[in-house]
């Protein structure tokens, strides 16, 4: 039963042992080979220990014992570990295939504690989003990873291995998803108080759907559709939210925080801390520091409840 309980953690949207990408499949394959070899060595060691202590506890031949120690303690581990090292190094060329133009070029900057995401289409201007990534299935995506503050680590376990995001340096990662679906990414390097609250969703789509989605994301925000949303837009601009956040098509052009042009279409809020609902918008805006400790965004709990609700309605409609 205990073994079955452990196996239950090998699936789900954040499991590297249920790969949905070519790179993750190579990592999982290496893991299973190393696990199998490790179990074989463990079985040999335990078997030898039982043999000399239980099945034949009498004194053993000194010469044979020395050869066993040399062979089992030095030669065998060297050969096995050398073979595993050679095999793992051979996978590196597959994890960074040469040639071919990637279908998506994406810049991701890890910040405390959220993700700035910029798509760089071959034709057209860059499109900035935050805390969510979408990819076309069966196509290569090139990620350019950086950080403006501290070391973060970009990791989508179901799609590939992790890679550090280091201030002053740009690292590149290539991923090619093989299955559509929604997967979970995370920061895998401790980066401060809310490190555990710095996650993101990855949606792998059919290429046609991905192209349509990216075209929509490049468009400016739609105007408010109701009087409540209109009041929310006025509250957004009057309370200085546009100094930190951008909403394309409005006077809000801040660059400090996430771009909110189409925030209503995202799967979560605050780097996947909360669901994307009007009620959770109210909670996030009014009690930001409680939801995510030491976050740089100030809480606006001083606003009247009806103004917070209008602001949440406006942001929810930005799809």
Q: What string of DSSP letters covers 96-139?
A: S--SS--SEEEEEEEETTEEEEEE--SSS--EEEESEEEEETTS
The mean pLDDT of the chain is 89
Whole-model pTM? 0.85
What is the C-alpha separation between 247 and 231, in angstroms, rounded?
Answer: 16
pLDDT, mean of residues 260-280: 95
What is the C-alpha separation between 154 and 133, in angstroms, rounded?
Answer: 12
For 76-100, the pLDDT digits (tens) are: 888 888 888 888 888 777 666 556 6
Token digits for 254?
């801040």
Question: What pairs with residue 187 in β-bridges?
Answer: 154
pLDDT, mean of residues 228-242: 94
Q: Which of 270, 221, 267 is nearest to 246 (CA)?
A: 221
Q: Which of 175, 203, 177, 176 is nearest to 265 (CA)?
A: 203
What is the C-alpha separation between 180 and 102, in angstroms, rounded?
Answer: 18
CB atoms within 10 A of CB 37: 15
Beta 274-275 vs 268-269: how paired, if at all? antiparallel
Which pLDDT score is estimated for 2? 53
Confidence class for position 179, pLDDT limits 50, 70, 90: very high
CB under 8 Å to 180, separation ≥6 — which residues? 137, 204, 205, 206
Asked if residues 190 and 204 have their Cβ atoms less than 8 Å apart, the reply is no
Confidence class for position 237, pLDDT limits 50, 70, 90: very high
For 59-77, the pLDDT digits (tens) are: 777 887 788 778 777 888 8
Which pLDDT score is estimated for 79? 87
pLDDT tops 50 at residue 4: no
For 272-312, the pLDDT digits (tens) are: 999 999 999 999 999 999 999 999 999 998 999 999 999 99
Indicate the DSSP class of residue 191.
-
Q: What string of DSSP letters covers 23-40?
A: HHHHHHHHHHHHHHHHHH
- Three-class SS state of 227: helix
List domains and CATH numbers for the chain.
Answer: 13-95 (no CATH), 104-207 (2.60.40.420), 227-316 (2.60.40.420)
Question: What pairs with residue 165 in β-bridges?
Answer: 152
Which pLDDT score is estimated for 71? 79
Q: What string of DSSP letters covers 229-285?
A: HHHHHHHHHHTTGGGT-B-TTSS-B--SS---TTGGGSSEETTTTEESSHHHHHHHH
**CA-CA-CA-CA torsion for 120, 244, 116, 270, nearest 10 degrees?**
-140
């Amino acid at each position: 039963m205990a073994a079955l309980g452990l196996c239950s953690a090998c699936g789900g949207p954040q499991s590297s042992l249920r790969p949905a990408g070519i790179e993750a499949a190579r990592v999982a394959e290496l893991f299973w080979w190393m696990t199998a070899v490790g179990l074989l060595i463990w079985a040999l060691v335990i078997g030898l220990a039982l043999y000399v202590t239980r099945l034949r506890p009498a004194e053993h031949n000194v010469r044979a014992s020395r050869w066993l120690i040399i062979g089992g303690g030095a030669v065998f581990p060297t050969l096995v570990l050398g073979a595993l090292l050679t095999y793992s190094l051979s996978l590196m060329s597959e994890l960074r295939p040469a040639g071919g133009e990637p279908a998506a070029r994406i810049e991701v900057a890890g910040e405390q504690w959220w993700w700035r995401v910029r798509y760089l289409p071959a034709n057209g201007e860059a499109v900035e989003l935050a805390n969510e990534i979408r990819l076309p299935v069966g196509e290569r995506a090139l990620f350019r990873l950086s950080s403006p503050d501290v070391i973060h680590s970009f990791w989508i376990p179901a799609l590939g291995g992790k890679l550090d995001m280091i201030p002053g340096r740009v690292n590149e990662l290539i991923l090619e998803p093989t299955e559509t679906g929604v997967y979970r990414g995370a920061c895998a390097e401790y980066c401060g108080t809310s490190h555990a609250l710095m996650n993101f969703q990855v949606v792998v789509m059919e290429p046609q759907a991905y192209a349509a989605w990216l075209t929509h994301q490049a468009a400016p925000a739609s105007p408010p559709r109701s009087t409540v949303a209109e009041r929310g837009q006025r509250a957004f601009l009057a309370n200085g939210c546009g100094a930190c956040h951008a909403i394309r098509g409005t006077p809000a052009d801040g660059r400090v925080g996430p771009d909110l042009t189409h925030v209503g279409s995202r799967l979560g809020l605050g780097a996947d801390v909360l669901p994307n609902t009007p009620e959770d918008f109210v909670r996030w805006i009014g009690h930001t520091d409680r939801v995510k400790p030491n976050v740089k965004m100030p809480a606006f709990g001083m606003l009247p409840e009806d103004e917070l609700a209008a602001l949440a309605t406006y942001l929810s409609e930005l799809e």
